[in-house]
Amino acid sequence: MTEEKKSQIRKYITWAELALVLILVIYLIYGLVTKNSNQLIFNIMAIVLVLGCVILNDIVEPYLTECFANMDQFRMEAYKKYVLWDVASMAGLLFFVLNFTENSTIFIYGGLMLFFVGSRQKRPYRSAYLGEVTKEDVEAAKQAADTSITHEE
């Protein structure tokens, strides 16, 4: 598959994700204007948004762009780790959004922290499973990250 075709598929995926976000934003605006919103409907819409984005990014896009064709063991392992970190980060974001109220405790900010940590951790695995970097590049990046963590202490 050509890079142009892959780019076109990724654009369609992005537009689908933006449509999901737009639906949620329209509902939020409707609730603010009419002062008539239902928390259950919002929660369901937020769950559908997060699940939709995860499915589009982690399953549909790689399948349509034929990323799984001729994937070696290293790239498959990177894909699995990417999906795990992506699901964990989205679960953290969803936990934060669904539990954020006036009476929220500081505990819900753990979900937000999980989102940020997971978002950062998944990046090198995406590059690896897409074949943009080699195993040696990933190992060097992990070594550099480990070194910077130990030097900061």
Amino acid at 40: L
pLDDT tens per residue across span 83-97? 999 999 999 989 888
Among 10, 40, 41, CA closest to 27: 41
Do 119 and 96 meet the contact criterion of CB atoms below 8 Å apart?
Answer: no
Q: Is 93 exposed, middle or buried (0-12, 13-18, 19+ CB in 10 A)?
A: buried
pLDDT tier, 136 (very low <50, low <70, confident <90, very high otherwise): confident
Domain boundaries, the chain: 1-69, 70-153
- What is the pTM assigned to this prediction? 0.77
Place of tokens 């990014």: 57
pLDDT of residue 108: 79
Amino acid at 121: Q
pLDDT tens per residue across span 14-66? 999 999 999 999 998 998 899 888 888 888 999 999 999 999 999 999 999 88
pLDDT of residue 137: 77
| Model confidence at 133: pLDDT above 60 | yes
For residues 27 and 63, give the distance between their C-alpha atoms in angstroms, rounded to a whole number: 31
pLDDT of residue 130: 83
Among 128, 100, 102, CA closest to 112: 100
